[in-house]
Amino acid sequence: MRRPALALLAALAAAGPASAADETAQVGYVNTALTNLGLTRSHRIVVERFDDPEVRNVSCYISQARTGGISGMVGVAEDPARFALSCSATGAVEVLPGAARGERGEVVHESSTSLFFKETRVHRFIDEGRGAVVYLAWSTKLVEGSPFSAVAVVPVAAAATATAPAPAR
């Protein structure tokens, strides 16, 4: 009976936070505080990269606090709802026809920040009027009535105007 439980805890620790994007990759991390005299994983800030599946040539980077200690090692800790977001063009930006438009946007990335219910989500919005793609990161945990959030913007207009015909004079 003990072995299956230990195997489950080891699998949870190895899995780390879940993400909706298949292409999420950890870029790096820094330790922010030593826990249990260095016998367990330290508190850290982790930087991850994900690509938007419906907008070509855009990569987003999100940094998030991760709780260390024994609870962090086995995947049961609640991570703080603190993060930063930056997105950039890696080539000519192309919004695919399947990208959701409208004021509700579309979830393009999720990561679990606790064992139950709390997540960091990234929504994409298309600002057709300004030729930009807007990414909003937010926590599903309410903090004094308002969740933490961060925003990043990637211009699309340069790629769109390159193929548009010149106006007639």
pLDDT in tens, 19-42: 344 578 888 888 877 766 666 567
Q: CA geometry: angle at 17 spanning 16 and 21, to 5°?
A: 120
Of the listed ranges 1-15, 76-90, 98-112, the least confidently predicted one is: 1-15
Q: Are 113 and 139 in contact (CB under 8 A)?
A: yes
Of the listed ranges 39-48, 132-141, 155-164, the least confidently predicted one is: 155-164
Span 56-65, mean pLDDT? 92
86-124 tens-digit pLDDT: 999 999 999 999 898 888 889 898 776 555 556 788 999
Q: Give the other-Cβ count within 10 Å of 27's Cβ.
A: 11
Rounded to 5 degrees, what are φ and ψ at 27? -85, -40
